[in-house]
Structure 1
């Protein structure tokens, strides 16, 4: 007789009141309509596209089923990710998706696959840095997926320090080829997404050497595998780096070159090139042109951080509204059961506890702060691109410095938020079924790629220190001031300014809050300049202070963008809800960083206590809107893959269903029992009592 799967009794239901009723009660208490806010966040056109693409994905035989993700090992998941990548290409062609529509599909499917870097790095790099001839030769077949590419920059021994890359590309004028060489083990390209298994081409960043002179890292398009057999070409050693903490549906790879010759046209030559006959190096028109792409990438990372923060908050806030624990005897509560129609008493939802609010509501606030900051970064990127096209690079340095620091700050916040939300879900948060564990694993690399989060802050601080020196020396006028130099002018005009607040409610004033952020960062910059220039401290000695400066500057940026976005809007119920969230973001950040504000003496200890009081007041204002604020991000269950954050509130039913899907539960008796358990049990068989029904008990 075949063994049967383990199933929960179908007649059992959760204890009243049930999740759907608890969530419905939460949604009735909101002061605004989350659907209206969803449209404000995304725009109607985006939502129409998203809903259309969501329907395609959920009904697709390959992409529609994500149930295997929490139950299978890397080998099965990667095989399925290859099938999903192929299917996504078929859908791109079938529906003629634009880049925006493909981005929506990728976001909803929520699994980085072996073709992700082909789209996000390989093709855009050729588009931005290739000549028209190179685009025809490499980009057009890549767009048809006739070649699959990746972006090979990071090496085993060098990551953020791009200038230290060891791979060389030596130009040979006689054969008119470049010779690629990996001179050491640490020159191995490492961590390259898509390289381990899928890619047959790579953009390789290598030190360009011509006529005996080293011109630093430049990009080369290199075929690495045979298009017919997919085997590595002669002189190339390539493979996968092995299992990782997460992100295991991507084949991060390594590659080494042993005197591999590539043609002259392989060097991407839109900005700089090698004369084919003489080997002469022709410099780019401006060395800063590459920064524009970096700003774009980092602006996208800031926008992505809003989704990460909002997604983690969605799961934890919805679950905290459904998880009832303890009773408030002073304020007993009842709700009507949709099953029985009767009033039923409600234990206290954990979302009513102030400590839970203190953990979760700032995550919501940070999600919205990242949303408005990411939008502003994109607007500034577009404006800067237009300026650079006219030969004006004056805007670039400030934008690049801010984008570097924001990448560091927002990804750090997002990583921390996922873990905080997981813990706030208690024991059930530890299940992969919560939707937070694997999410954390897969997002974690963002803290180190596209620039390590601590190294990046040096780029931000170096620019701010230079700007401060120029402002103080009178080299920048107030009419030419940008965001950074403007708060430095304010500080230098009144270096002994103090916060005028005398009551907790004074800290509801957004301009007062922003003044505190401005003074703090300018003070930190002033003292750092003094330590470097007057006390002759080394840069290495100052790295902790430099990190604090970058963090302070970017927190000011986020607070300023958030305040500007929501306090300049027409007053309505959505605006008022967002203003409460903006105040919480500023107040909570002030409280978390209070040591800096006390050190610069802009705040007094008494004022710091008032801020703490006002944070608790702000939590109370947001409490009725908590579920609505996460609902407004509009994440479908298909994306969340979370039993705890399910939109209809059926948490316990979904936990049971997901437990039933566990492979260990597909048999009453586990494979391995006969070999590993039965011999031990049989050793004591003389103590058994055999019953009439055939069962044996001690």
Structure 2
């Protein structure tokens, strides 16, 4: 009987797919970017689904310690399969996405490595990146402190240059200067890019990055002067509890001078602070990269939630039966559609705007290398604004999808509670959303104020240069098109 019921459910989804008024395969290609990308994604998904080591159905029943061990085991097995099957970088990246990666993997590749690439000299990159690529060292990104998050300039950790030893002394002078939250710090990382106030010759030169070894490479124990650990459980039964977010304090820890990231500035052997010829604006390239990745992740998270809600709505039947006939699919109710379909559309919108941000990152990086800063302000505004909008909308949408699945959505087995718990921190990390939106507002106001001086805005803000014309325009359009919608948006 159960098998017949399952078959009926499968047929129901098949009937819905067959009724599509668009080319499903063509839509897959549009979503993935190419037929090749579709094929690779499908192959990696089947590889993960067929391997029992990658099972996920027991995640919410594991203790936090066992959950952390489970994610480590999966990461090691994923690396083994990547080597055994000689997977390409594209295939390996997709495989890691489908597997429950421990937090240290995300932060190692997503923050530690890019920081060295963006702020390290060629010599530093040659020394540290090969070690990071081979996982001979595991890195994290230690910026946020217990007392300071978004206000980076308020960080309290100090790095004082000592000319007698030709090195820096890293120190946590207060409780609030403790590094707090970095993923991978609590258990896994051997090294960190630590952000601290550079002090030399008695002068404070502000925040700079330093590569600091935290643990022994032999027995993984903390090095002298380094106090660190895990900050404990987080929201959700599975979710971020597989992440070893940590706390870190330094008690006069000494590092060599060449472990200051010196691409943009350096301290000489004599203790003199010197700016390099490389423009500081290059730092924005890393910021754009990280935030465009967050927008892309918003689309992935939202699409998963919407997929669950759409499938549930197609299977679930309730009310509407007449003369003992079948009840109505929940998906056919207008109220369900009005709540669900805009979320589906948003998933596609976020997917495509993520592609555009990826292009913007490439364009801005090339221009920065050529010392062209004309699009830097726009890149900052777009990445800050879209990070805030997409993450807030996605967090709200996942919760709405849970409600659209009724009581079943509250079950861990639905996948929605853990998806929400995993995703919602995105509204806070890499810039609190309210703070980011205020930054965007400031840039827009600055752009408007410069119009009278004759300075014309560029890129996505170019329409502001036509503000006088737009303010006097009246709309006589009776049928909407893409260009008309864009014009109305600009005029509003």
TM-score range, shorter chain: over 0.9
Partner of residue 318, structure 2: 325
Partner of residue 305, structure 1: 298
SS at match of 1:472: helix
For 1:139-150, list aligned pairs within 5 A. 139-150=129-140
SS at match of 1:365: helix
The question of 1:369 aligning with 2:349 is answered yes
Q: Could you tell which deviates more after superposition, 398-407 or 274-283?
A: 274-283
Partner of residue 54, structure 1: 45
Which whole-Å deviations, capped at 9, do the CAs of 1:451-502 have from their partners, x for residues lacking one?
11111112211111111111233222xxx74321x22123322424444356
The question of 1:230 aligning with 2:220 is answered yes
Report deviation, 1:28: 1.9
Distance 1:48 1:22, change over 3 A: closer
The question of 1:491 aligning with 2:467 is answered yes
For 1:189-338, list aligned pairs within 5 A. 189-245=179-235, 246-283=239-276, 285-327=278-320
Report deviation, 1:296: 1.3
For 1:277-676, list aligned pairs within 5 A. 277-283=270-276, 285-327=278-320, 345-476=325-456, 481-484=458-461, 486-500=462-476, 506=479, 508-520=480-492
Report deviation, 1:305: 1.2
**Separation (CA, whole Å) in 2 of partners of 1:301 and 1:261:** 35
Distance 1:26 1:183, change over 3 A: same
Which whole-Å deviations, capped at 9, do the CAs of 1:300-334 have from their partners, x for residues lacking one?
111121112211111101110111111265xx9xx
**Separation (CA, whole Å) in 1 of partners of 2:13 and 2:325:** 15
**Separation (CA, whole Å) in 1 of partners of 2:291 and 2:72:** 27
Distance 1:47 1:110, change over 3 A: farther
1:154 to 144, 147, 160: 144
Distance 1:95 1:492, change over 3 A: farther
2:155 to 147, 165, 177: 165
Partner of residue 547, structure 1: none
**Separation (CA, whole Å) in 2 of partners of 1:283 and 1:212:** 21
Report deviation, 1:280: 2.7
**Separation (CA, whole Å) in 2 of partners of 1:95 and 1:171:** 48
Report deviation, 1:36: 1.6
Which whole-Å deviations, capped at 9, do the CAs of 1:8-66 have from their partners, x for residues lacking one?
xxx54576992112212211211112122101221122123223323433343522x22
**Separation (CA, whole Å) in 2 of partners of 1:174 and 1:24:** 74
Using the size of structure 2 for normalisation, the TM-score is: 0.94
Unaligned residue ranges in structure 2 (runs of 5+): none
Unaligned residue ranges in structure 1 (runs of 5+): 1-10, 333-343, 521-698
**Separation (CA, whole Å) in 1 of partners of 2:407 and 2:281:** 50
| Aligned Cα root-mean-square deviation (Å) | 2.0
> Quick check: 2:72–2:102 contact (8 Å CA) kept in 1?
no
Distance 1:179 1:26, change over 3 A: same
For 1:29-44, list aligned pairs within 5 A. 29-42=19-32, 43-44=34-35
Report deviation, 1:192: 0.7
> Quick check: 2:200–2:271 contact (8 Å CA) kept in 1?
no
Q: Could you tell which deviates more after superposition, 21-30 or 184-193?
A: 21-30
Report deviation, 1:406: 0.3
> Quick check: 2:71–2:100 contact (8 Å CA) kept in 1?
no
Distance 1:284 1:251, change over 3 A: farther
Distance 1:17 1:256, change over 3 A: closer
Report deviation, 1:397: 1.1
Report deviation, 1:345: 4.6
**Separation (CA, whole Å) in 2 of partners of 1:242 and 1:289:** 36
> Quick check: 1:173–1:279 contact (8 Å CA) kept in 2?
no
**Separation (CA, whole Å) in 2 of partners of 1:55 and 1:497:** 55
Higher relative contact order (CA 8 A, sep 6+): 1
Distance 1:126 1:435, change over 3 A: same
The question of 1:83 aligning with 2:73 is answered yes
Report deviation, 1:211: 1.3
**Separation (CA, whole Å) in 2 of partners of 1:311 and 1:500:** 41
> Quick check: 2:360–2:379 contact (8 Å CA) kept in 1?
yes
